[in-house]
Amino acid sequence: MTSNQEAIGNGGITTAPHALASQAGLDVLRDGGTAVEACVAMAATLAVVYPHMTGIGGDGFWLIHEPEGRVHAIDACGGAAMAADLSLYQGLKVIPWRGPLAANTVAGTISGWQAALAGDDGSLGLARLLRDAIKLAQGGVPVTAGGADIARLKHAELHGLVGAYADIFAPEGRPLGQDDILRQPQLARTLQSLADQGLESFYRGDLAQSIAADLAALGSPVSLEDLQRHRASTPAPLSISVSGARLFNTAPPTQGLAALLILALFDRLPPSEAESFAHVHGLVEATKQAFLVRNRHVGDPAYMAVSAQQILDDTARIAGMVDAIDPRRALPWPAPSAHGDTTWFGAADGRGQVVSCIQSTYFEFGSGLVLPETGITWQNRGASFTLDADGPNVLRPG
């Protein structure tokens, strides 16, 4: 069902892929919180009610527009474990998608919350921001239709993994179905610990020691020292001009470069009627051109030969990419589709602060490694590294 009715207000707005998360953020705004604080509340709630797509064992990226107009970014993406080198995967052609060897990077999500709150002037404490998430993790939440479908489809590859996946998400030997109640008492205790001890404890406190012990017992290469070493970073956001606007997105290792290229290329194509053949064809071909550049250049930003912003500022390159789009013929595209997904949510407050966030465990349920003591589902973003020593995205420690 669609509606043309407009919703108008001046106190703020929140959006998330689950109503309970949107409501948690909206309640924070009603209590006088900022858009950043609302997003922390939504991020925590999504970790509980949307665990097939996101969680505190994943990574996060923030794009924040301040009331005075400044745009800044937070990169809360964890690096590879120091023990995660090519020798660890000797005899393998690719990094496994699931299991302890897939859980080879630090989870950066919590450091993103920490950096966002540290740079904000909000006044609500962590106990308030995590309140709804803790309550839902302890008391339980009905499984969504989408969550049930994914749990069913992935059951065969996940339920036999080491860790607590089966205990939490398939407690009777079958995946939880739609409207079954998902209870996560271990995760509730972890969130309560963060509220009591502070977000720093995830990396450099008692909680970090518990996480590291869990990971080691399950066979992950991520150590306490890896957790202690991690900090979120604040790289300059990428930007490019289009007709009547300047667009911003996050820098590598995200897809921000590709997203901005797609929009910039499409903006420079001849005008076309919405949903017409020319419109759809142009968007698809712009996407192909952007992905070719992404695949050629994007990796760990510390090792990229040319920066993403340099690519966006190269007007001759952009013009050449536009010229390469044939309005009557599709570029062959042999590249197979890739796995992976993410969760986006955002908020705006009455002062004019606007926040855009993504938070992800990469695959559905990440690596499938669920830590028994803390209830954290660990990501598998590091499975996207290659084991080709000469490749642009080769696995390197740290």
Active site positions, annotated: 342
Q: Coil, strand, or helix at residue 297?
A: helix
Contact indicator for 99, 367 with CB cutoff of 8 Å: yes
Residues 6+ apart with CB under 8 A from 135: none
Q: Coil, strand, or helix at residue 74?
A: strand
Contact indicator for 14, 26 with CB cutoff of 8 Å: yes
- Cα 58 from Cα 90, distance rounded (Å): 26
- Residue 303: count of CB within 10 angstroms of its CB: 10
- Cα 202 from Cα 106, distance rounded (Å): 11
Residues 6+ apart with CB under 8 A from 94: 383, 386, 387
- Cα 367 from Cα 270, distance rounded (Å): 44
Residue 169: CA atoms inside 13 Å, Cβ hemisphere, count? 35
- Cα 284 from Cα 279, distance rounded (Å): 9
Pairing of strands 343-349, 354-360: antiparallel
Alpha helices in 145-253 (DSSP H): 145-158, 165-169, 185-197, 201-204, 206-218, 224-229
- Residue 348: count of CB within 10 angstroms of its CB: 19
**Chain centroid to CA 323:** 33
Sequence letter at residue 256 = G
- Cα 123 from Cα 217, distance rounded (Å): 39
CA distances from 175 to 48, 80, 159 (A): 17, 31, 8
Report, in this order, helix, strand and coil percent for the chain, each rounded to 5.
40, 15, 45
**Chain centroid to CA 357:** 8
Give phi and psi for 301, each to the nearest 5: -60, -25
- Cα 370 from Cα 377, distance rounded (Å): 4
